[in-house]
Amino acid sequence: MNEAGSSISVAAADDERWMMQAIELSHQSLYITAPNPRVACLIVKEGQLLASGVTQQAGGPHAEVMALRQAQERGLDVKGATFYVTLEPCSHHGRTPPCADALVKAAPARVVVAMADPNPLVAGQGIARLRAAGIQVATSVCTEQALAVNPGFVARMTRGTPWLWLKSAASLDGQTALRNGVSQWITGPQARADGHHWRARSCVVLSGLGTVRADNPQLSVRDVATTRQPIKAIIDTRLEIDEKARLLDGSKTWIFTCNDNPEKSARLAQLNAQVVVMPGRNGGVDLPAVMRWLGQHEVNEVHVEGGARLNGALLQSGCVDELLVYLAPIVLGQGLGMYQLQAMETLDQALRFEFFETLAMGADVRLRARLGSRWQELLKAVGGP
């Protein structure tokens, strides 16, 4: 390799190293930014990190502004620096002014962007504004890693529905409970605490009436620290939920039903529960219609903790993007399975997911699998390979 090629390789490696640091930093905003994306910004000059920032709660400053404020507080000159941003700087007036304008004013030499913003209000305009100001812009650096922090935002912007994962805790033989319904506890404390992390990062925790009746769950985040609780949502076809259910604790709740019952809906409204009447499908609530409704209400990520019936219905209606499975090293025999699906006649009918992560959780294992085609669609939308 000649000297010029070697210099390019070193520069690319430096960009990737700094961008991965920015992506790691963006995890600090996992629980707070919805419906906005989780974004981080690093300001680097002559190989030294000057300042950094992450996007705050909706309506608060974005990552670029937070980093610039930190640099100003430290009395540092950012002119001629390189800014590493995990998402294209916004170019429109939303809840806050355009970040692209703030960067132009700061006069960096370069801006390195992990992924393009799929928001139609931005969609390349932020990058174009930087280049028009004479700032060098490098794009598509660590794109897939950046997307992993924001699949729900990208999904909502590109297809109008949130990114949905099904969470299950099961034995090695795929049972989530004994035949009598006893399920506490199949998995250990580390797996259960990790499950609360996934609740906390979601916009909505979705369950079904069967689970509400069987377990009387709270559906709240308890095992991780968060300033924001996700909205609770229940699929209740005939609006039969017990008005004394523990989840109806005054926190925001959506109940999706096919039964228009104004009197009960009014009582539930006193508990901060909104009844949403949806069309029916296959004897239940039209689940794809629910996903569209959630997208229209700025929901990025949906965490499902339901029973086999709801899980199976979501799978068969094409609403599931990802499986989040905690497997315990125990065998339970005949019990309650993870997914209630119609019998298949051939393997070609199988719903095929792709494993992409395996992680030990104490004595248990966390498996994650997703629909590869859907992931590739998101990746393409943000400028990935």
The per-residue pLDDT for 345 is 86
What's the CATH code of the domain at 318? 3.40.430.10
- Name residues whose C-beta falls within 8 Å of residue 125's C-beta, 6 or more positions apart in sequence: 91, 92, 100
Cβ atoms of 251 and 229 within 8 Å: the answer is: yes
In angstroms, rounded to a whole number, what is the distance separating the alpha carbons of residues 154 and 162? 8
Is 9 a residue whose pLDDT tops 80?
Answer: no
Both 312 and 222 in one domain: the answer is yes
The per-residue pLDDT for 11 is 77
Tens of pLDDT, residue by residue over 221-238, are 998 889 899 999 999 999
Tens of pLDDT, residue by residue over 149-160, are 999 999 999 999
The number of folded domains in the chain is 2
Q: What is the rounded average pLDDT of the residues 276-282?
A: 95
In angstroms, rounded to a whole number, what is the distance separating the alpha carbons of residues 9 and 14? 9
Residue for token digits 């629910």? 290
Both 114 and 27 in one domain: the answer is yes
Which structural domain range is residue 288 located in? 160-383
Residue for token digits 């004013």? 105
**pLDDT grade for 45, boundaries at 50, 70 and 90:** very high
Is 4 a residue whose pLDDT tops 70?
Answer: no
> If DSSP states are collapsed to H, E and C, what string results for 179-243?
CCCCCCCCCCHHHHHHHHHHHHHCCEEEEEHHHHHHHCCCCCCCCCCCCCCCEEEEECCCCCCCC
The per-residue pLDDT for 101 is 86
Q: What is the rounded average pLDDT of the residues 157-167?
A: 97
The per-residue pLDDT for 142 is 96
In angstroms, rounded to a whole number, what is the distance separating the alpha carbons of residues 173 and 119? 43
Both 132 and 184 in one domain: the answer is no
In angstroms, rounded to a whole number, what is the distance separating the alpha carbons of residues 290 and 162? 10
In angstroms, rounded to a whole number, what is the distance separating the alpha carbons of residues 171 and 330? 5
Query: Measured on CA atoms in the order 62, 65, 71, 76, is the torsion positive or negative?
Result: positive
In angstroms, rounded to a whole number, what is the distance separating the alpha carbons of residues 249 and 218? 8
Binding site as annotated, residues for substrate: 183, 219, 222, 305
The per-residue pLDDT for 185 is 86
Binding site as annotated, residues for Zn(2+): 62, 90, 99
The per-residue pLDDT for 2 is 54
What's the CATH code of the domain at 39? 3.40.140.10
User: Which residue among 99, 121, 151 closes a domain?
Assistant: 151
**pLDDT grade for 206, boundaries at 50, 70 and 90:** very high
pTM for the full model? 0.93
**pLDDT grade for 95, boundaries at 50, 70 and 90:** low
Nearest to 111 by CA among 85, 129, 78, 72: 85
- Name residues whose C-beta falls within 8 Å of residue 358's C-beta, 6 or more positions apart in sequence: 365, 366, 367, 368
Is 130 a residue whose pLDDT tops 70?
Answer: yes
Binding site as annotated, residues for NADP(+): 169, 185, 199, 211, 215, 237, 307-313
The per-residue pLDDT for 8 is 56
Tens of pLDDT, residue by residue over 282-339, are 899 999 999 999 999 999 999 999 999 999 999 999 999 999 999 999 999 888 899 9
Active site residues: 64
Both 176 and 257 in one domain: the answer is yes
Structure tokens at 379: 């990746």
The per-residue pLDDT for 94 is 61
User: At what angle are helices 63-73 and 99-106 packed, to 10 degrees?
Assistant: 30
Residue for token digits 């990114």? 163
Both 138 and 177 in one domain: the answer is no
In angstroms, rounded to a whole number, what is the distance separating the alpha carbons of residues 35 and 142? 23
Both 235 and 281 in one domain: the answer is yes
The radius of gyration of the chain's CA atoms, rounded to the nearest angstrom, is 23
Both 37 and 67 in one domain: the answer is yes
Q: What is the rounded average pLDDT of the residues 264-285?
A: 96
Binding site as annotated, residues: 62, 90, 99, 169, 183, 185, 199, 211, 215, 219, 222, 237, 305, 307-313
Is 26 a residue whose pLDDT tops 80?
Answer: yes
The per-residue pLDDT for 6 is 53
Other beta carbons less than 10 A from residue 153's beta carbon: 29
Both 213 and 140 in one domain: the answer is no
User: Which residue among 126, 151, 176 closes a domain?
Assistant: 151
User: Which residue among 128, 151, 174 closes a domain?
Assistant: 151
The per-residue pLDDT for 59 is 84
Cβ atoms of 139 and 116 within 8 Å: the answer is: yes
**pLDDT grade for 93, boundaries at 50, 70 and 90:** low
Cβ atoms of 281 and 291 within 8 Å: the answer is: no
Element counts in the chain: helices (H) and strands (E) = 12, 18
Cβ atoms of 204 and 303 within 8 Å: the answer is: yes
Of residues 96 and 86, more confidence is placed in: 86
Both 112 and 218 in one domain: the answer is no
Strand partners, 273: 253
